[in-house]
Amino acid sequence: MISRYQCDADLASGRYTVDAKSIMGIFSLDLQNPLTLTVYEGSDIDDLEKALTPFLSK
């Protein structure tokens, strides 16, 4: 989903961090635990936030 947007982002699980647009990187993370999404920059950040809202917890 995030690959549709013009932004740079990482996903982290514990001490491991991967490019959020890399499907291989995402599958290498421990998906049993919550992930942390960090979005650094991009022109579509507001649209991305709206699209991800149903999947986010704070």
pLDDT tens by residue, the chain, 58 residues? 888 889 899 999 999 999 999 999 999 999 898 899 999 988 888 898 899 899 877 6
Integer Cα distance of 29 and 6 in angstroms: 23
Q: What ranges do the domains of the chain cover? A: 2-55
Q: Is the pTM of this model over 0.95?
A: no
State the first-to-last Cα distance of the chain, in angstroms, to the nearest integer: 20
Cα angle at 41 between 24 and 18, to 5 degrees? Answer: 20
Question: What DSSP letter does each residue of 17-57 carry, written as one string?
Answer: EEETT-HHHHHTS-TTS--EEEEEEETTHHHHHHHHGGG--
